Amino acid sequence: MDWAAALLQLASLLAAAPIATPDALPGCPAKCGNLTIPYPFGIGEDCFREGFDVRCNDSVPYLSSGNITVVNINLTEGHLRVKQYMAYDCYSEDGKNNDYNNPFIYLYGLPYKFSDSRNKFMAIGCDTVGFLRDGESRFKTGCLSTCNSISYIPNGTCAGIGCCQTPIPKDLRAFNVIIDSYHNHTNCWDFNPCSYGFLADDGWLNFSVSSFSDLRNVTYVPVTLDWAIGNQTCEEARTNSTAFACKAKYSGCLNSTNGPGYRCNCLEGFEGNPYIEDGCRGGAFCLVFLILLCSWLYWMIKKKRLVELKEKFFRKNGGLLLRQQASSLEGSARVTRMFTMEELEMATDNYKESRILGQGGAGTVYKGILPDQTVVAIKKSKIVNDDEIEQFINEVVVLSHISHRNVVKLLGCCLETRVPLLVYEFVPNGTLSHHIHDEGRRASLSLESRLRIAAEIAGALAYLHSAASIPIIHRDVKSSNVLLDDNYTAKVADFGVSRLVPFGRKCLTSLVRGTFGYLDPEYFLTAQFTDKSDVYSFGVILVELLTGEKPVASTRSVECRNLAMHFQSCLKDGRLFSILEDRVVDEGSPELLGAVAELAKRCLSLMGEERPTMKEVAMELEGLRRFHQHPWIGDNEEEGEHLLKGAECSNPSVMLGEGDSSVHVIQPFDMKPFDIMR
Ligand SMILES: *[C@@H]1O[C@H](CO)[C@@H](O)[C@H](O)[C@H]1NC(C)=O
Ligand SMILES: *[C@@H]1O[C@H](CO)[C@@H](O)[C@H](O)[C@H]1NC(C)=O
Ligand SMILES: *[C@@H]1O[C@H](CO)[C@@H](O)[C@H](O)[C@H]1NC(C)=O
Ligand SMILES: *[C@@H]1O[C@H](CO)[C@@H](O)[C@H](O)[C@H]1NC(C)=O
Ligand SMILES: *[C@@H]1O[C@H](CO)[C@@H](O)[C@H](O)[C@H]1NC(C)=O
Ligand SMILES: *[C@@H]1O[C@H](CO)[C@@H](O)[C@H](O)[C@H]1NC(C)=O
Ligand SMILES: *[C@@H]1O[C@H](CO)[C@@H](O)[C@H](O)[C@H]1NC(C)=O
Ligand SMILES: *[C@@H]1O[C@H](CO)[C@@H](O)[C@H](O)[C@H]1NC(C)=O
Ligand SMILES: *[C@@H]1O[C@H](CO)[C@@H](O)[C@H](O)[C@H]1NC(C)=O
Ligand SMILES: *[C@@H]1O[C@H](CO)[C@@H](O)[C@H](O)[C@H]1NC(C)=O
Ligand SMILES: *[C@@H]1O[C@H](CO)[C@@H](O)[C@H](O)[C@H]1NC(C)=O
Ligand SMILES: *[C@@H]1O[C@H](CO)[C@@H](O)[C@H](O)[C@H]1NC(C)=O
């Protein structure tokens, strides 16, 4: 249904409705039967202007003088339609006249004239001469029509064959019609025994052959009269204000177009009866009201549609799925705040381009400012299919289960829009990847910061794997999914492909997802992901932090393209320091760097089982950090250095204590940091 069209229809309907203005003088009947009788016309004493008397008999209005029935009165056009007799002249087969009517109609003493613009004199017949003679015998006018075969008669046009017509002059007040024939219809009697003549509304008769017989049963024809007030021009009439007919405040005066006299009208924008005081009312006022009404209606309908659309999007965007998820995990899930479409539009200045923080495969991230001045990041998803909607809901569900200093906070979401929107806390200083790799940011992080960031990421992942209310595997750990705030505190982000792991399950099977360069080779082969897959990816980040190299770089030689493999082979060859970033080497002691490298190597073990848990990694990194801050605890620098250079790291052998968070590591060298940890 097209609402706009319906509305337009309604508007035109309302516009067509009559505007309530008085028609008659106070206390006078305004109607006769169905017909409205507007002043200056009127029924009864003191109800009409002189000459405009209307008689109402049996609900039929007549002009008071004469036998003329009123059909219609038009105040704005100055017309009056009345019924009038027709002249006819009929013959029998032998040419004897057997029926004849020759009416005389007059309007003397009345303010009416036969309208020259609206009427035509017509004569119908095939042996016909028709005249119209004015009341004072000043002139005659008319036309003739003869034809001797019905087949010549054209249908639908009155053009001289079987029918002729002629205009009449102005100022005609009385006439009679005379019909004559040349041959008493003897030549055409079989199809046309009668002639007809009348003055009628132009267009009243659509002439055709059947008119010859149809007109026999017609007694009245409609004729239009022009009417006017008095016999003066507007200017003359105005001089006597008591006699002047245009009484209404917003009225004007028009000279009559048919003889002397004048008429009144309401000024532009006003409607009603100009002959009555206060008769002209502001049509514009009603129009304004109408426009207001329409725009209000339009607005309501639009709003309703918007609500419907929002509801549709909410459902399409998995709002119900989210509600269901939230209720099934009740208690553990924080209530996710639902933002409205308008709130977010306002916050992002209508998704202005200047507000874009980043763009990726999953969508666009905008900077937004909420009314309470909170700065937020708004992710506008690029969702095209159901699978991705599931991912989206997944992220909402996962994040609503998490509350950790080093995990980006989800503030809420908005499902009313075509694509769903996620609202996060704003983390101002970009991604870790940016700080490690981007031109101009290289070597900008101190070793201390790097260790802290690594420890923070490890802490967050350990929390996700074990401490959160339901274990969560991130599945897309990478340096571009780690954000830094203004103090360079790390925040793990992007939980689009993360999974909640039901209790009692160690691994889940799914399509391989993740980012090339960070992908756990075991997961890649088995398509089974476990928390150890995250450990592998974390190992890659750790190597990135140490080397400043990208996880995959086409600038490196083919065998070194994959950073994890490149790092391991360097470590194996004892060339660790050749691959470490200069700043890292400058700031760290060889033992420390060796230990971190060793940790990274364990994280990158091919077999998931051989990798430490995130919790172990977090604790170890925490210990190494403290060792870095207070190197005096370590006293065996030379030995460490020596061992590092000759390190044999081809056989990583790590044993994990069963059900025990303490770590026993058998290594080719003994590291002080682990002692600190214990
Ligand atoms: C009034 O109008 C109705 C409907 O248009 C019609 O049936 C009825 O005959 C009319 N009455 C008179 C008196 O004209
Ligand atoms: C009113 O009309 C009726 C029949 O229609 C007629 O008999 C009567 O004379 C009329 N009255 C007047 C005053 O014309
Ligand atoms: C009105 O017409 C009727 C019949 O057509 C006629 O008898 C009557 O005399 C006429 N009245 C006037 C005043 O012309
Ligand atoms: C008078 O004529 C105007 C214009 O033709 C028309 O809009 C209006 O409806 C007519 N009024 C009446 C009462 O017939
Ligand atoms: C006019 O119409 C009549 C029927 O209404 C038909 O018999 C006749 O042939 C038509 N004449 C012309 C010239 O079309
Ligand atoms: C026509 O009829 C009139 C009288 O009705 C008669 O005087 C006249 O001669 C007739 N004309 C013809 C041509 O038949
Ligand atoms: C004219 O009226 C008469 C009787 O009132 C009827 O028999 C005839 O069929 C009508 N003619 C036409 C053309 O309507
Ligand atoms: C104008 O009308 C008045 C009365 O209505 C009349 O006395 C006067 O003679 C008329 N004037 C003309 C020029 O018709
Ligand atoms: C003005 O018109 C009234 C009423 O028609 C009339 O009584 C009066 O004499 C006129 N005044 C003038 C100055 O013509
Ligand atoms: C009315 O007619 C007179 C004389 O023809 C003319 O001077 C005057 O301007 C006309 N007034 C209007 C309002 O047309
Ligand atoms: C990090 O944040 C601080 C404080 O907001 C700011 O001064 C600094 O320029 C930011 N650095 C980068 C690289 O964005
Ligand atoms: C950053 O550190 C300063 C000083 O320690 C502290 O006031 C501020 O709240 C920190 N900012 C964040 C986002 O943690």
* Segment among 25-29, 201-205, 439-443, 567-571 with least mean pLDDT: 439-443
Q: Which CATH number fits domain 432-677: 1.10.510.10, 1.10.230.10, 3.40.50.1220, 1.10.530.10?
A: 1.10.510.10
Residue nearest to atom 12 of ligand 9 (CA): 240
Q: Is 476 a catalytic residue?
A: yes
Q: Is 587 in the pocket of ligand 12 (CB under 6 A)?
A: no
Name the percent of the chain lying above pLDDT 70.
80
Under DSSP, is residue 119 helix (H, G, I), strand (E, B) or coil?
strand
Q: Which CATH number fits domain 317-425: 3.30.70.2740, 3.90.1170.50, 3.30.200.20, 3.40.50.2300?
A: 3.30.200.20
Residue nearest to atom 9 of ligand 2 (CA): 57
Instruction: Kindly state the average pLDDT of the residues 543-564.
Output: 86
- Please give the helix or strand (H or E) that residue 180 lies within, else none: strand 174-180
Q: Where are the domains of the chain?
A: 2-16+285-305, 21-74, 85-227, 317-425, 432-677
pLDDT (0 to 100) of residue 227: 93
Nearest alpha carbon to residue 409 among 366, 370, 375, 360: 375
pLDDT (0 to 100) of residue 321: 67
Average pLDDT in the chain: 81
Q: Which of 53, 127, 226, 476 is catalytic?
A: 476
The DSSP secondary-structure symbol of 463 reads: I
Mutate to test the pocket of ligand 4, among 19, 76, 226 (most ligand atoms within 8 A of CB): 76
Residue 80's pLDDT band (cuts 50, 70, 90)? very high
Q: How many CB atoms are closer than 10 A to CB 302?
A: 12
Residue 521, pLDDT > 80, answer yes
Instruction: Kindly state the average pLDDT of the residues 576-581.
Output: 89
- Please give the helix or strand (H or E) that residue 134 lies within, else none: strand 127-134
Residue type, 42: G
**Distance from C-alpha of 539 to C-alpha of 484, rounded to nearest angstrom:** 19
**Distance from C-alpha of 532 to C-alpha of 608, rounded to nearest angstrom:** 5
Same CATH fold, 432-677 and 317-425?
A: no
**How far does residue 51's CA lie from ligand 8's centre (Å)?**
13
* Segment among 58-67, 442-451, 493-502, 579-588 with least mean pLDDT: 493-502
User: In sequence order, which residues have a C-beta less than 8 Å from that of residue 58 and are 6 or more positions away?
Assistant: none
Nearest alpha carbon to residue 245 among 21, 49, 43: 49
**Distance from C-alpha of 501 to C-alpha of 504, rounded to nearest angstrom:** 8
Residue 597's pLDDT band (cuts 50, 70, 90)? very high
Question: Are 541 and 457 a contacting pair, CB within 8 Å?
Answer: yes
The DSSP annotation for 47-66 comes to SS-TT-BEEEETTEEEESSS
User: In sequence order, which residues have a C-beta less than 8 Å from that of residue 337 and are 6 or more positions away?
Assistant: 411, 412, 413, 423
The tens digit of pLDDT for each residue in 11-58 reads 555 554 444 567 888 888 889 999 999 989 999 888 999 889 999 988
**With 0-12 CB in 10 A as exposed, 13-18 as middle and 19+ as buried, what is 130?**
buried
- Residue 96 CA, closest ligand 6 atom number: 5
The tens digit of pLDDT for each residue in 646-662 reads 333 333 332 322 333 33
Ligand with minimal distance to 69 CA: 3
pLDDT (0 to 100) of residue 79: 92
